[in-house]
Amino acid sequence: MTEEELSHRMKVIQFTEEDVARLKKLSPYAREYAEPVIEEFYRHLLSFEEMRAFFPDRRTLDYVKRKQKEYFVRLTEGDYGMKYVEDRLLIGAVHEKIDLPIKTYLAMYAYYENQVASRLRAAFAGHADEAFDVFLSLIKLIRLDMILAIDAYSLRREQTIRQQEEAIRELSTPVLRIRDRLLILPIIGLIDRKRATQITAQLLTSIRNARARVIVIDITGVPVVDTDTANHLVQTVEAARLLGAQVITTGLSSEIAQTIVRLGVDLSRLNTVGDLQGGVEEAERILGYRVIRGEGGSSYLEAG
């Protein structure tokens, strides 16, 4: 949030100097009412069971009460610059962090407004117009706070999403050895350039260490295969082949197969088998293994 952005938002909600002046006039009232209004507010809040979980102990409650009182007074102090905004953003972020749903956060404001309205009515008895104007100014400011809170919420959420995307990308892709010279590489999640390189490097190292001759790459867990993903896959297969290993790809879903053909991607250089089981069987055949079902249903391998 920058200085310009703030002044732009102020303009959008039509928050003017006039509003500031009106709010400043409220300052003595705010100081007087902060205590009872906030106490009342939390009494109301805590009457809802789902809210109690957010204030597990006395200390937390006292802390937020104190903060709220400061906020209440601050609403009428006429300083709504960057510092104010940053504090509001921080408050929003804190609420997001404790998983307070945004609807609850906004609903709390409704109670606030009611409380304040009734106090204003009492304070401005006989001056209904003035009370109404002051209340409107206050509402504008509260709107700004709500906007900021939603901003902070969505910012945190976006951060979380980015972090998760990062985590998914960096999920290690295990290379598993299931028979002598046979590796399985199950890929789960999206494959982008960075991950493809990482997977390929890891696979090549594993091929050398395990002296693998056949690798089954299972892409059942890859949700989307587009042109790029397909090309990455082809590159991985090519690289493995340069080390003398051959790759069997399995788990291409019907949907993905159709997409690939529609996109016109040439995957004829991939040796594909329907599912992982088929792929492993094919690999065993290449390596010269024969699986024989023994008595009692147990099976054993025979190197051919």
Partner 1 sequence: MEVPILKQGEYLIASVQVALSDQDLLALQQRLSALTGTQEVRGVVIDVTVLDVLDSYAVRILRMISEVLALRGARTIIAGIQPEVALAMVRLGLGLEGVETALDLEDAMEKIARRGKSRSPEGRSTWPPLSRNT
Q: Which spans of this chain sit near partner 1 (rule: CB under 8 A)?
A: 197, 200-201, 204-205, 207-208, 211-213, 235-236, 238-246, 269-274, 278, 282, 285-286, 288
Minimum CB distance to partner 1 smaller for 23 or for 214? 214
CA atoms within 13 A on the CB side of 76: 19
Question: What is the Cα 158 distance to its own chain's centre?
Answer: 5
Pairwise CA distance, residues 80 & 3, whole Å: 11
Q: Give the CB-side neighbour count of residue 218, counting CA atoms within 13 A.
A: 19
CA distances from 261 to 231, 256, 269 (A): 13, 9, 14
Closest contact distance (angstroms) between CB of 248 and partner 1 is 8
Least Å distance, CB 178 to partner 1, is: 18
Cβ 243 to partner 1 shortest distance, Å: 6
Least separation in angstroms between CB 157 and partner 1: 36
Q: How far is the CB of 195 from partner 1 (least distance, A)?
A: 14
Residue closer to partner 1 (CB basis): 26 or 214: 214
CB of 61 or CB of 286, closer to partner 1: 286
Task: Using the minimum distance from each CB to partner 1, give the nearer residue, 33 or 289.
Answer: 289
C-beta closer to partner 1: residue 116 or 196: 196
The dihedral built from the CA positions of residue 33, 38, 44 and 47, taken in this order, carries a sign that is negative
Please identify, using beta-carbon distances, which residue of 172 and 268 lies nearer to partner 1: 268
Beta carbon nearer to partner 1, 78 or 278 = 278
In the complex, the smallest distance separating the C-beta of residue 245 from partner 1, rounded to whole angstroms, is 7
Q: Measured from the CB of residue 290, what is the shortest distance to partner 1 in angstroms? A: 12
